[in-house]
Amino acid sequence: MDTEATLLQALHAGASGYVLKNSQAEAIVSSILAVMSGERVMASAVANRVLNMLTGTTTPKEFYDGLTAREIEILKLLAIGQANKQVARRLQISEKTVRNHVSNMYAKLQIYDRSQAVLYAVRKGLIEL
């Protein structure tokens, strides 16, 4: 998993701080103390990445709950009603590859069918009704 995805998951889960594992011991200790006193802490390199993601100058590889760019592409097509065969033809990949991506999406999103995938896509703004 890449750093952006890890960062987004941590923030989404309610993290009050995010420091890098190669930070100096003093920085880690001061960050822990700051969070314990109610502050929010983010390493400057991490803050720069967040700002880049928010301003669109960087696009994280896994922005939607761990989905890859290809899975998002397939999800959008499924959500507008295309069958696996149509998706495969459009993306010039095999139908088996589409099925694999769909299975991976379902596992990552903890969903079980296409209707749930469509609801997810709508909630995340990937498609409009």
* 5-42 per-position pLDDT tens digit: 667 777 778 888 888 777 888 888 888 888 899 888 88
Domains of the chain: 3-55 (no CATH), 69-123 (1.10.10.10)
Entry pTM: 0.53
- Could you tell me which of 73, 89, 81, 88 has the C-alpha nearest to residue 126? 73
DSSP 12-25: HTT-SEE--TTS-H
Bridge partners for 18 per DSSP: 42
Residue 122 has which token pair? 């709508």
Distance CA 16, CA 11 (A): 8
Distance CA 96, CA 41 (A): 45
Question: 58-115: per-residue pLDDT in tens?
Answer: 554 445 678 888 898 999 999 999 999 999 999 999 999 999 999 999 999 999 999 9
- Could you tell me which of 39, 54, 40 has the C-alpha nearest to residue 4? 54
